[in-house]
Chains A and B, each alone.
Chain A
Amino acid sequence: MIEKALTGSKRYWGWVILLLALMGAGLGCYLLQLSRGLTITGMSRDVSWGLYIGQFTFLVGVAASAVMVVLPYYLHNVREFGRITVFGEFLAVAAVIMCLLFVIVDLGKPMRVFNMILYPTPNSILFWDMVVLTGYLLLNLVIGWNVLEAERNEVPPPRWVKTLVYVSIPWAISIHTVTAFLYAGLPGRHYWLNPLLAARFLASAFASGPALVIILAFVMRKFSSFDAGREAIGKLALIVTYALTTSMFFLGLELFTALYSRVPGHGLPTIEYLFTGKDGTGNLVPVMWASVALGLVAAYLLINPATRRRESTLLFACAATFVSIWLEKGIGLVIGGFIPNPFEKITEYAPTMPEILITVGVWATGLLILTGLCKIAISVKQATGHAASPSCGASASPPQNSA
């Protein structure tokens, strides 16, 4: 089926070439980083993780959120999602590959990355994160590909695929839980040392991921013949609404504990730094308030049924949700955890241009993978006549019937 990604319109190739150019710029900067070291980034002995690990953390959430289209379809027989589950799975594939790339570009000694496999270390959460992420990548690749191939051949997918789907549902939860445990188990990092963190991660992921799927659905409708259907988008919008409000509620819980107790050990110094600035510093203050403002606007537009149903406002709300959570989780949470440092001193962090270009390059790689996979899926759906009809139940045979 891969050949379907190699034919396309001029616009398709223009987009691919743009992504390749961005990847090239990122690769160039990465070669610079390989030759000069992480000194070319904005990181320091105080803020030892920056943009790369922030993106990694955020994208694990995007990957995990594929479960929000897979679970309703396979467990609750929500047939409207039948047409789009494969896009959720392919989004997970692209997101996990970006996650792994972000970890690799962050390593000081990338050529030694296999030490993680040669010396497996069950006491390290990073070891388990590698295990669950690679497992999740394989699961989604195998599931997505086989479901699509079955659809192309107009036969039900093999039975074992359904077993894998059931495995992939708790697995999706595990990848974001384990990623939260990377942070939530560290003594002395008060902003992260929080049992709510995994729940917060999942809530924010289930908002940002489906929001991206909605945006993706609009993009596909505009640039291809594929239409996800009003019902599917409507249901996804509801998921975004509930997840976003839950996520904001969880953030509020954390803020209350810290601000009302005024105990420094509950992250108060970091929260002050993030939201008001501290001792004349405050690089992240606009980031955090932008996140709050976008989150509130998105919540308002999503909770109100009229604006949730209107396509233009829904699209804006989804974009606002995605950016709000990206700012809060991909920037504020990871970097904020290092500020103040263990000596209660503030060292600020700002990414450098090469660091930003490497980050853009990894995003471009993920988008290229996503574009290719979506192109294949759309071509298959066109060929089998499952692309244009948005009516309910017109999708490929759900595995329920096949088993």
Chain B
Amino acid sequence: MEISRRTFLKLSGLGLLGLLGAPVIDVLAKTDRARVARAPGALTAKRWALVVDMRKCWENGKGTCRDCILACHREHNVPDIPEEKEQVRWIWTEPYENAFPEQGHQIGAALSGKPFLVLCNHCSDPPCVRVCPTRATFKREDGIVMMDYHRCIGCRYCMAACPYGARSFNFTDPRPFINSVNPAYPTRERGVVEKCNFCEERLAAGSPPACAAACRYGALVFGDLEDPGSAVREILRTRYTIRRKPELGTRPNIYYVVG
């Protein structure tokens, strides 16, 4: 069959348009949703939440217990980087004034200077998801804010958007800084952002998050916020809790018992 140059160019153009058009159609048709079935025995919820009872933590742990932090960082191969500016953190502590900068009145509850566990808040309206240009950061139906290390281009817009400082960037290759590698979870490479994933890989296998499981004193309670009978709802009903920076409207799903 003879094909003229003009026809060839037209057809190539159409083909290219189709290639470029496919992702646009995907966006309009919203076909990028997760299509993976849950494993039998997986823990499920409508909206996952974590309640941290800091009093239990201080009274029993005497301020030196780091079980939750170590369990999380070991489970997820979080590197231990000495250079403070390049540290990767999934869960760590900050003094009360720094974790809750505009809630100074709680000083009456003698919270001043006390260490608070901080982690990704898995916001109901997460700014990091809003700004990510590749959907490497996305929110699941059950409220978990997820990070796809393989799609992240390392633009760090999510770090600028997160009002909780919960995101870390791999400035350098993290692998040499992992003390003992957990082969069950991937290590990351240089140039991508990462953060707490609410242990979605453990939930899928039917286990609670590593931090909650590691706490000997039951200070971390994980559960479904939409289930009126859940343990987290029971605590929210009976105790005085606060959230970080509620004024920003991100609606965090991490609650702190302070009274």
Contacts and interface: CB of A to CB of B under 8 A. Distances in A.
B127 A124 contact: no
B161 interface: yes
B179 interface: no
Contact of A117 (B23, B87, B99, B163): B23
Contacts of B169: 38, 45, 48, 108
B154 interface: yes
Interface stretch (A69-77, A238-246, A336-344, A390-398): A336-344
A31 to B, nearest CB: 15
B124 interface: no
A113 interface: yes
Contacts of A351: none
A192 to B, nearest CB: 9
A355 interface: no
The main secondary structure of chain A at its interface with chain B is: loop
B15 interface: no
B102 A187 contact: no
A188 B131 contact: no
A109 B191 contact: yes
Nearest to B99: A343
A188 B165 CA distance: 10
Nearest to B167: A45
Contacts of B132: 121, 124
Given A39-B86, A121-B132, A264-B102, A116 B153 contact: yes
Interface string B96-138: 0111011000000000000000000000000101111111100
B130 to A, nearest CB: 6
Given A39-B86, A108-B154, A119-B134, A343 B23 contact: no
B51 interface: no
Interface in A163-181: none
Given A38-B169, A119-B135, A124-B131, A108 B157 contact: no
Interface stretch (A88-96, A125-133, A312-320): A125-133
Given A116-B133, A116-B153, A124-B133, A347 B250 contact: no
A49 B101 contact: no
B171 interface: yes
Contact of B94 (A36, A120, A121, A343): A343
B151 A342 contact: no
A380 to B, nearest CB: 30
Contacts of B193: 108
Interface string A102-116: 010011111011011
Interface string B152-193: 111111011111110111111100000000000000001111
Given A45-B87, A116-B133, A37 B170 contact: yes
B101 A37 contact: no
A115 B152 CA distance: 8
Given A108-B192, A342-B162, A119 B99 contact: no
Contacts of A187: 127, 161, 163, 248-250
Interface string B66-95: 000000000000000000011100000010
B56 interface: no
Contacts of B159: 45, 48
A69 B209 CA distance: 60
A345 interface: yes
Contact of B165 (A39, A49, A124, A342): A342
B245 interface: yes
B59 interface: no
Interface in A338-390: 338, 341-345, 347
Contact residues on A (Cβ < 8 Å of other chain), bracket: 35 or more
Given A187-B127, A342-B164, A121 B133 contact: yes
Contact of A119 (B151, B155, B161): B151
B163 A121 contact: no
A126 B155 contact: yes
Contact of B85 (A37, A44, A124, A189): A44
B135 A109 contact: no
A250 B58 CA distance: 49
Contacts of B249: 187
A186 B23 contact: no
Given A44-B86, A108-B156, A187-B248, A116 B162 contact: no
B134 A115 contact: yes
Contacts of A109: 152-154, 191-192
Contacts of A119: 23, 32, 134-135, 151
Interface in A302-349: 337-338, 341-345, 347
A345 B165 CA distance: 11
A188 B101 CA distance: 11
B94 to A, nearest CB: 5
A120 B160 contact: no
15 contacts: A37-B172, A37-B173, A38-B171, A45-B86, A106-B155, A106-B156, A108-B152, A108-B156, A116-B133, A116-B134, A121-B132, A125-B131, A186-B160, A187-B161, A345-B98
Given A121-B132, A188-B162, 14 more contacts: A36-B172, A38-B154, A45-B86, A49-B156, A108-B193, A109-B191, A115-B134, A115-B136, A119-B23, A121-B135, A123-B130, A124-B132, A187-B248, A188-B164
Interface of B: 20, 23-24, 27, 32, 85-87, 94, 97-99, 101-102, 127, 129-136, 151-157, 159-165, 167-173, 190-193, 245, 247-250
The 6 tightest CB contacts between A and B, nearest first, are A108-B154, A188-B163, A108-B191, A44-B85, A342-B165, A343-B98
